[in-house]
Structure 1
Amino acid sequence: MAAPPVKSVAVIGSGISGLTAAYYARRHLPHSTPLTIYESHPTHLGGWLQTTHHSVEDKRVIFEHGPRSLRPVGLSGLCTFDLIRELGLEKELILVPKTHPSAKNRYVYYKGGLNKLPSALLDLPKAAATVPILRGLVSSVAHEPFAAKRPEGLEDESIGAFVRRRFGVRGVGVDTLLSAIVHGIYAADLDTLSVRSTFPILWDLETYHGSVVKGMLGGAKRIPKDEREVKQETELKEKNKELVEMMNGMSVYSFKDGLATLTERLRTSLSNDNVTFKFGTPVTDLSISPSSVTITAGSDNASFSHVIANVAPKTLASISPSLPLPTPPSTSSSTVLLVNLFFPPSAAPHVPAGFGYLIPKTVGLDENPHRALGIVFDSHGVPGQDSAEGVKLTVMLGGHWWSALSPSELAEREEQGVELALGTVRRHLGIITKPILAEAHLQRECIPQYGVGHRGFLGKAKSVVEGWGGGRVSVVGAGWGGVSVNDCVRGGRDVGIGLERGVTGLESTLYRLVPHGIIAVCVAVIFLKFLPVSIALRFASKILPLYYMFDATGSATPQPAPGPPNKSYPYTNDPS
């Protein structure tokens, strides 16, 4: 059945997904087609992308209260290139090469200190013997090819269950390292998240090869690739040839004025282009008739031929009670206390050159009493953004550790935020200097949690959404499929371009046979490229002559840190 004609469009939520969808819809629809963007926040758009500028002795310091850098890889990365080119932002870029210390040096806090992860194969034998976090890693990897095959009928499991089933529990083990990575990605417990939806490459390697290690030996090229994605990637590379060449050899990139540059330019582009922004207007109801979709916002009702919902599954269900929508396996999202700190230059000797460090689940209260998840060394991560001299850090606390706290207890943590962060950097890094600038913001429900069975939920949701007016409703955002900025841009782009075809927004998520990369947020993705598991796999290839390994995480994408420094609003809940 043909999709209904697009006569008017409403976008619920102005996260990066919703803004991107609106931008591409505006580009592909007749200019006479009106677009309306509903945002519950009174002034802010861009979801969790927010940058603030500060002055220190008349010089600038930038704080990112969400994502701070992007990685130029994969199809989703190319979609972001396309948006940057269309918005004319090439001259605003700051590029960080793979040779920079922040791209080469990653740390994990373990056994009372920072454990530097090796970045080269030759460094592994010594590191495996001397770095506490790596002890037992090689034996865990060597065990994996001989693990029992996946139980028949098992369609999904938690990350922790998968890792222990495949790699066993030996010494520190793979699961300890991955718990740190998951802290950086989802601020979550690896025993609660779906491996199939968060580390799909691991699941696919076992599916096609019976073993992660054997799969890496055989090469990911043996896993079928979706022809549509291959074609799209080729077209985008050609279309954005100059940016692709510019990004060659780069690890991450950002903008001179911070990542909010992207959303602010989208806002400027959409303004006065037959686009209406309705700030401070939360949508409370959504209903569908054969000819339109009606939105209720306060006392006002408005009908549109099409609606793009940039909201989480549970939010969509709450505003459309008359419409059937399957319940996801997890309706929770992580709440994270994000603390930005700027110290005088005297603190520099305490901060090693590198991107930052993550903290595994196994580190106890005696070493991590404030339940920090990790610290980003922002001064190294995106050099050249600040004109003021000093040391800039971002401390992330809470996540799953605070999931049982009441709203009042969380508010108390926010009030104590700067002191909690300073206590952590004092204990872990030895910084006792008073910061020049300090801001603490509690980002409520900022990172979606993909529970076991999330992929099955998406399949059911796609069938249901397709039936809502025969293609009148589309969904975008991190709550559905991919929490990185690149993922959100890609999802928004697909919907904006495909609106006339009646797309649901879930097609690329479900049809993707080989995910473009492990989903990652904030510091976690930077660790993935040189994740010791990858290096241990290579080392295992030397001691087990059968195997020849390569890096399985080279297509990982960047991720947003938790959200804007404002209260949590229901339609700014796209984590980027």
Structure 2
Amino acid sequence: MTNNKPSIGILGGGISGLSAAYKLFQNNIAVTVYEKDNQVGGAIKTFRKNSWVVEEGPNTLMIKSQKVWDLLEDLDLIDKSIEAGKTAKKRFIVKDGQPTPLPMSLGSFLTTDLFSAGAKLQLLKEPFIPQSNKEDESIADFITRRLGKEPLDYAVNPFVSGIYAGDPKKLSVKHTFESLWDMEQQHGSLLKGMFKRDRSSNSPKRALLSFEKGNQQLPLAIADDLGKAVQTETEIQSVVKHDEKWIVKGQQKNDTFTDEHDIILSTLPAYSLSTIFEDSLFKPLNDLPYAPLSVIALGFTDKQIRHPLDGFGMLVPEAEDRKTLGVLFSSSLFPGRAPKNHHLLTCFIGGARNPQLAEKNKQELQKIVLSEISELLDITGEPVFSHFRFWPKTIPQYEMGYDRFLNYMNRAEDQQKDLFIEGNFRGGVSVPNCILCGFETAKKIQTFLKGQ
């Protein structure tokens, strides 16, 4: 780099790195995004074959921030987005071997078979349960203390598997369900907190979205806007500080390269940082747990499935003692996911509940999943389409004691003011969370540059 214009090296072309790069690029700051795969997106991967559209990673985007809406507007993606149908509000939970709708209103809660009369009575007692003075608590302990065991087993447990592929006995409520934690801290009760929530009419629109060509259309649109600033098929091997510059070395399409930057933003997985930066400060991040997950998409003709598939999907609680974590009714959620007169189901297996299962091959897992969902959804015959993706380390687990990992990252940034660390292991795992954290990091970098 021969000019005096500061340059930012961004490691990783997932949504976190791309979002930060986009904001910096908009402000005329030189960025280079390094991505080892041949396409950007990280875990946001869409597989397309004939008329089947399969999400290998995140299946939906819950948009509730004006900043994210503005991004979609800037990228001309609003008209290319697809909002989930009304049936998406209906969620099925398996109870006693039957898919049972999760109650979404007080009336349906009072009449549901999902919870016993005792569990419903326990909910009415929730406002009178004293507040905990613990600094943190597992999701399981928090929910059991405030709501009882049945809501944990047949509502929270399956949703934790659906969002984090995690174990509620290990995950921190403060870092995973911050809104629930804050309700108790601020109002002393979840019910009181829900009633007192700001329901301002000025709040941004909330919508569950995907895109015409699948979710990967979003990162691809950002990369298209960034142009030559994005370098794919580029694997970073080392990053070293030398004479106030960061020296980046790696391999690009079978050739080695060396670049230098004034600032480094790493959005690489936490477990990879210690080998790239060769700094003992990053070694503790190797212990940040990730859950393995296998995704099995199965296609059927409409005559093969008797269940109406009139909902978002079906989650399977751990208490039901089955191997499948859950199933999304993908073709019910969004149009264009399956050929005419066909259905696409996206199934998940493994996670923190059964990590060893995720590592089995496609044939074994498909046999397990097909056996279980055929019984639950009244499916006959073999699938007419299937697709498989294994993620050995898919979702970081914000478990009890997660604060220590945040402290390690904060310490690294304090020691090197021109180093920034971002990713789904810090600030939230959802796509919108990662976008907003990317924007916030871009703002921090701009503030740092102004102070130079």
Q: CA deviation at 1:50?
A: 1.4
Contact 2:157–2:167 (8 Å) recurs in 1: yes
Inter-partner Cα distance in structure 1 for 2:266 and 2:302: 46
Inter-partner Cα distance in structure 1 for 2:118 and 2:5: 58
Higher RCO structure, 1 or 2 (CA under 8 Å, sep 6+): 1
- Does residue 373 (structure 1) correspond to residue 325 (structure 2)? The answer is yes
Q: CA deviation at 1:428?
A: 1.5
Q: CA deviation at 1:497?
A: 4.1
Cα distance change, pair 431–348 in 1 and its aligned pair in 2 (3 A): closer
Contact 1:143–1:168 (8 Å) recurs in 2: no
- State the match for 2:138 in structure 1: 158
Inter-partner Cα distance in structure 1 for 2:172 and 2:184: 15
Question: Residue 493 of structure 1 aligns to a residue in which SS?
Answer: helix
- State the match for 2:209 in structure 1: 253
Inter-partner Cα distance in structure 1 for 2:244 and 2:225: 30
Inter-partner Cα distance in structure 1 for 2:182 and 2:307: 42
Q: CA deviation at 1:463?
A: 4.2
- Does residue 44 (structure 1) correspond to residue 26 (structure 2)? The answer is no
Contact 2:15–2:435 (8 Å) recurs in 1: yes
TM, length-normalised to structure 2: 0.89
- State the match for 2:428 in structure 1: 482
Contact 1:312–1:480 (8 Å) recurs in 2: no
- State the match for 1:11 in structure 2: 10
Question: Residue 111 of structure 2 aligns to a residue in which SS?
Answer: helix
Inter-partner Cα distance in structure 2 for 1:150 and 1:353: 39
Question: Residue 362 of structure 1 aligns to a residue in which SS?
Answer: helix
Inter-partner Cα distance in structure 2 for 1:209 and 1:290: 52
Q: Which has the higher strand share?
A: 2
- Equivalent AA in structure 2 for residue 399 of structure 1: G
- State the match for 2:352 in structure 1: 400
- Does residue 453 (structure 1) correspond to residue 401 (structure 2)? The answer is yes
- State the match for 1:182 in structure 2: 160
Contact 2:139–2:171 (8 Å) recurs in 1: yes
Q: CA deviation at 1:411?
A: 4.3
Inter-partner Cα distance in structure 2 for 1:356 and 1:492: 30
Deviates more, 1:326-335 or 1:416-425: 326-335
Inter-partner Cα distance in structure 1 for 2:333 and 2:237: 40
- State the match for 1:538 in structure 2: none
- Equivalent AA in structure 2 for residue 85 of structure 1: E
- Equivalent AA in structure 1 for residue 218 of structure 2: L
Question: Residue 340 of structure 1 aligns to a residue in which SS?
Answer: strand
- Equivalent AA in structure 2 for residue 28 of structure 1: N
1:427 to 342, 364, 375: 375
2:227 to 271, 280, 304: 271
Q: Which runs of 5+ in 2 are unaligned?
A: none
TM, length-normalised to structure 1: 0.71
2:342 to 381, 390, 403: 390
Inter-partner Cα distance in structure 2 for 1:410 and 1:183: 13
2:309 to 352, 360, 372: 352
2:277 to 298, 320, 324: 320
Q: Which runs of 5+ in 1 are unaligned?
A: 223-229, 238-243, 504-576
Q: CA deviation at 1:113?
A: 0.6
- Equivalent AA in structure 1 for residue 310 of structure 2: A
Contact 1:21–1:493 (8 Å) recurs in 2: yes
Q: CA deviation at 1:117?
A: 1.7
Contact 2:83–2:209 (8 Å) recurs in 1: yes
- Equivalent AA in structure 1 for residue 138 of structure 2: S
Contact 2:131–2:188 (8 Å) recurs in 1: yes
Q: CA deviation at 1:260?
A: 1.1
Inter-partner Cα distance in structure 1 for 2:283 and 2:135: 18
- Equivalent AA in structure 2 for residue 427 of structure 1: E
Q: CA deviation at 1:146?
A: 3.2
- State the match for 1:199 in structure 2: 177
Cα distance change, pair 208–120 in 1 and its aligned pair in 2 (3 A): closer
Contact 1:159–1:191 (8 Å) recurs in 2: yes
Q: CA deviation at 1:210?
A: 2.7
Inter-partner Cα distance in structure 2 for 1:44 and 1:487: 21
Q: CA deviation at 1:265?
A: 1.4
Contact 2:160–2:168 (8 Å) recurs in 1: yes
Inter-partner Cα distance in structure 1 for 2:184 and 2:346: 36
- State the match for 1:53 in structure 2: 48
Q: CA deviation at 1:330?
A: 5.6
Inter-partner Cα distance in structure 1 for 2:375 and 2:305: 16
- State the match for 1:69 in structure 2: 60
Inter-partner Cα distance in structure 2 for 1:28 and 1:184: 37
Contact 1:6–1:500 (8 Å) recurs in 2: no
Question: Residue 84 of structure 2 aligns to a residue in which SS?
Answer: strand
Inter-partner Cα distance in structure 1 for 2:132 and 2:105: 32
- Equivalent AA in structure 2 for residue 13 of structure 1: G
Contact 2:270–2:286 (8 Å) recurs in 1: no
Name the count of aligned residue pairs: 442
Q: CA deviation at 1:62?
A: 1.2
Q: CA deviation at 1:215?
A: 3.3
Contact 1:283–1:297 (8 Å) recurs in 2: yes
Cα distance change, pair 463–260 in 1 and its aligned pair in 2 (3 A): same
Contact 2:110–2:120 (8 Å) recurs in 1: no
Contact 1:70–1:486 (8 Å) recurs in 2: yes
Q: What do the CA deviations read for 1:362-387 (whole angstroms, capped 9, x no partner)?
A: 112xxx2xx11100011111134545
- Does residue 92 (structure 1) correspond to residue 80 (structure 2)? The answer is yes
Inter-partner Cα distance in structure 2 for 1:70 and 1:44: 20
2:447 to 475, 485, 501: 501
- Does residue 125 (structure 1) correspond to residue 110 (structure 2)? The answer is yes
Q: What do the CA deviations read for 1:478-514 (whole angstroms, capped 9, x no partner)?
A: 01111111011111222234422139xxxxxxxxxxx
Cα distance change, pair 135–426 in 1 and its aligned pair in 2 (3 A): farther
- Equivalent AA in structure 1 for residue 395 of structure 2: I
Q: What do the CA deviations read for 1:37-88 (whole angstroms, capped 9, x no partner)?
A: 22222x1320111112222xxxx22111122222231xxx322212211111
